[in-house]
Amino acid sequence: MTSYLFRRLLFLPVVLWAVSLIVFVLMRSVPGDPAAAIAGEKAPAEIRLRVRRERGFDRPIAVQYVAYLGRLLHGDLGESFKHSNEKVRDQIARKLPHTLELAFAALTIAVAAGLSLGILSAAFKGSWIDYASMTVALAGVSIPVFWLGLLLIIAFSSVLPVSGNLNPIYVPVDRTGFLLIDTLLMGDGVMFRDALAHLVMPALALATIPLAMIARITRASMLEVLGSDYIRTARAKGLSPAGIILRHALRNAALPIVTLLGLEFGSLLGGAVLTETVFDWDGMGTYILTSVRETEYESIGGAVLVLAFTFVLVNLATDLLYSFIDPRIRHGQQEA
Amino acid sequence: MDNRKLRILTRHRASMAGLALIVFLSAMAALIGLLSPHDPVSWRPGEQNLGSSGAHWLGTDNSGRDILTRIFFGARISLFLGVACVTFSAAVGLPLGAAAGYFGGVTDGAISRFLDILLSFPGILLAIAIAAPLGAGLWTVILSVGVVGIPPFARQIRASVLSLREHDFVVASRALGASPTRTLIREILPNAAGPIIVVATLGIGSAILSAAGLSFIGLGVEAGTAEWGAMLHDGYVDPRLHRTLALYSGLAISVAVLGFNLFGDGLRDALDPRSRPGA
């Protein structure tokens, strides 16, 4: 166990380094002159030459990579040239909380609905409830999130705001960057409700895929546990069916669900990119796409890097949590 | 697949429904040129943004092209992309995973860590990061979505090779002097085919979804192509279309992905007795 933990932690910097290498290679494989992307295509040759020298584009690629790594270690993600050289780090610091807020909201919906559907399905296996829940779950993994977003907009556009994070007439005091928390801290109920209303549709759309996955794994895992001897014993003792399911079965069925949660949070970060486009949500996804359109490669690289780092850390945390929940896991001997 | 498994599969109603959807879309993709009087590409001034009618069942888009015709032409591109991406993933993932499982040791360590690193990106994000510098195009989609699909193939074949490696027939093949490549292809691969077919079927569904996602945000096929994700985007940004275009191209994506998911689930149940419901 300790050696497993140690190896995972030791591997962490390797993964982070590899992620940075991949991002660097991808961003530098852009055809054309990077100096032209910064100075503008029509910039005179001498300005481009100066930019190339100042930014070190004239040096060997390996030297550039080392310089890039050095900047990364100091938390420097580069600059956004088309936005008066604002630091990419500062831009991301503004956008990331919005995406995390969306992802957390979606995960909450997905866990609540997914667990319920999964448990109901397992408890009433073979009944119409089971078929209905599993149909919802199957639809959830097959429907593109951007299409579901459109359906939601058509259905609810009269009652809920369809784009943005907050009505622009409100100016929240930025404490955490999370709008729900900031508006609560301000004690402004109207603004809080507005932020919540903006969050509902994107969160619902983003929640579908993890909801479906959670429902399916909960059902499978519950069915496995419900077939075991100690559940039969509990039944024989005359415990109530609800008590058996919630107190005895769910607790033991929780492991695969916890693992899935970590993985799903990562895919939520990815799915958020598409969802944000549909709802004009001002987060990392919209930021990445705007940067793609404006060929701001340092912004794209920085954003991809930050999201991948978040994903890696969440997965590591889940993995550690997993081995704490279940002492039976012997990570040293797995994968044989 | 032996008769018993085939019987399980054909009696699996949901998977047969999935197969029917796949066959229907493929047939329409193949025959649409014969069935529809409309041209999916050329611009027809004066016929833009028509509502549904006898001539245009779902109406026309903002270039005057018949929406229903374009949706079935879109099936060609989307189904092709799904298969092409998965072929790419398998072509890279299978040799990698097989080598990792067969040789073990340092080879396994290096390949497995490489897969871990691929998996440390959320899928669509990696696809976007690959597609962004490449620019829109069919090859961009195949490469970026294909790379994301490598790990499931590699992990599946690695697990199969590990469990088959020490079987007598494999040891015998080695003892007779067969090269690792020959042993892997002739002895191990046939016995590991089942789960790989499942990975591939489910993979096509998710590849179609990712490819449509890339096109939706403008990083997939070139603008104007009759591809479902791109059409969904066109319908999205142009409110004059009353979103018919977006609604139906989204429906087409869902139907195709649902088909592959249903069929893939059925295949898995038929090939792996442990996952069978009620087992």
Find the DSSP H helices in chain B.
3-11, 13-35, 67-103, 105-118, 123-134, 138-148, 150-164, 168-175, 180-182, 189-216, 228-237, 244-271
Q: Contact at 8 Å (CB) between B229 and B213?
A: yes
Q: Contact at 8 Å (CB) between B161 and B192?
A: yes
Amino acid letter at B5? K
Is it the case that residue B53 has pLDDT exceeding 50?
yes
Nearest to A74 by CA among A59, A56, A87: A87
Whether A139 sits inside 8 A of B258 (CB atoms) is: yes
Is it the case that residue A332 has pLDDT exceeding 70?
no
Is it the case that residue B7 has pLDDT exceeding 60?
yes
Q: Is B243 on the interface with A (CB under 8 A)?
A: yes
Q: What is the pLDDT of residues A143-188, one digit of tens each?
A: 998 899 888 888 888 888 877 788 777 777 777 778 888 887 887 8
Q: Contact at 8 Å (CB) between B227 and B178?
A: no
* Residue A274 in tokens: 């598409």
Strands A79-80 and A86-87 turn out to be antiparallel
Whether A147 sits inside 8 A of B250 (CB atoms) is: yes
Q: What is the pLDDT of residues A206-263, one digit of tens each?
A: 999 899 989 988 888 888 888 888 888 888 888 888 888 877 888 777 777 877 887 7
Whether B218 sits inside 8 A of A293 (CB atoms) is: yes
- What confidence score (pLDDT) does residue B9 get? 81
Contacting residues of A for B121, CB less than 8 Å apart: 19, 22, 304, 308, 311
Rounded to the nearest angstrom, the minimum Cα separation between B6 and chain A is 23
Whether B121 sits inside 8 A of A311 (CB atoms) is: yes
DSSP state letters, A236-248:
HTT--HHHIIIII
Contacting residues of B for A29, CB less than 8 Å apart: 133
Whether B120 sits inside 8 A of A308 (CB atoms) is: yes
Q: What confidence category does residue A107 fall into, taking pLDDT thresholds of 50, 70 and 90?
A: very high
* Residue B5 in tokens: 């498994």
Is it the case that residue A72 has pLDDT exceeding 50?
yes
- What confidence score (pLDDT) does residue B240 get? 56
**Cα angle for residues B91, B76, B219 (degrees, 5° grid):** 70
Nearest to B89 by CA among B11, B13, B143, B12: B143
| Averaged pLDDT for residues B188-205 | 90
Contacting residues of B for A139, CB less than 8 Å apart: 254, 258
- What confidence score (pLDDT) does residue A262 get? 77
Q: Is B162 on the interface with A (CB under 8 A)?
A: yes
Most confident of A305-309, B28-32, B255-259: B255-259
- B164 to A333, A335, B130, B189: CA distances (angstroms): 19, 14, 35, 10
Contacting residues of B for A150, CB less than 8 Å apart: 232, 236, 243, 246-247, 250
Rounded to the nearest angstrom, the minimum Cα separation between A174 and chain B is 28
**A96/A318: higher pLDDT:** A96
Question: Where is average pLDDT lowest: A273-287, A317-331, B197-211, B257-271?
Answer: A317-331
Whether A308 sits inside 8 A of B122 (CB atoms) is: yes
Alpha carbons A292 and B132: distance in angstroms, whole number = 6
Whether B120 sits inside 8 A of A27 (CB atoms) is: no
- Numbered ranges of CATH 1.10.3720.10 in chain A: 92-325
* Average of per-residue pLDDT values in chain A: 83
Cα dihedral sign for A300, B121, A142, A216? Answer: negative
Q: Say what percent of chain A tops pLDDT 90.
A: 14
Question: Where is average pLDDT lowest: A271-280, A306-315, B30-39, B197-206?
Answer: B30-39
Is it the case that residue B78 has pLDDT exceeding 60?
yes
| Averaged pLDDT for residues B242-253 | 85
Alpha carbons A316 and A322: distance in angstroms, whole number = 10
* Average of per-residue pLDDT values in chain B: 86
**Eight-state DSSP code of residue A332:** G
Give first-to-last CA distance, chain A, whole Å: 17
Is it the case that residue A135 has pLDDT exceeding 90?
no
Is it the case that residue B109 has pLDDT exceeding 80?
yes
Rounded to the nearest angstrom, the minimum Cα separation between A181 and chain B is 27
Is it the case that residue A73 has pLDDT exceeding 90?
no
Q: What is the pLDDT of residues A8-33, one digit of tens each?
A: 778 788 888 888 888 888 887 776 66
Whether A147 sits inside 8 A of B125 (CB atoms) is: no
Q: How many CB pairs under 8 A join A and B?
A: 122
Q: Is B212 on the interface with A (CB under 8 A)?
A: yes
Q: Give Cβ neighbours of residue A158 (< 8 Å, ≥ 6 apart).
A: none
Most confident of A55-64, A252-261, A267-276, B97-106: B97-106
Q: What confidence category does residue A313 fall into, taking pLDDT thresholds of 50, 70 and 90?
A: confident
| Averaged pLDDT for residues A77-102 | 86
Q: Contact at 8 Å (CB) between A215 and A110?
A: no
- Rounded to two decimals, the ipTM of the complex is 0.83
Question: Which candidate in B78, B125, B204, B210 is best for mutational testing of the A interface (most A CBs within 10 A)?
Answer: B125
- What confidence score (pLDDT) does residue B145 get? 95
Contacting residues of A for B250, CB less than 8 Å apart: 143-144, 146-147, 150-151
DSSP state letters, B175-212:
HTT--HHHIIIIIIHHHHHHHHHHHHHHHHHHHHHHHH
Alpha carbons A147 and A153: distance in angstroms, whole number = 10
| Averaged pLDDT for residues B35-60 | 74
Is it the case that residue B88 has pLDDT exceeding 90?
yes
Whether B122 sits inside 8 A of A269 (CB atoms) is: yes
Does the domain spanning A92-325 belong to CATH 3.40.630.30? no
Rounded to the nearest angstrom, the minimum Cα separation between B46 and chain A is 28
**Reported pTM:** 0.87
Whether A292 sits inside 8 A of B132 (CB atoms) is: yes
Q: Which residues 263-292 on chain A approach chain B with CB closer than 8 angstroms?
A: 266-267, 269-271, 273-274, 277-278, 288-289, 292
Q: What is the pLDDT of residues A289-302, one digit of tens each?
A: 888 888 788 888 89
- What confidence score (pLDDT) does residue A61 get? 81
- What confidence score (pLDDT) does residue B211 get? 94
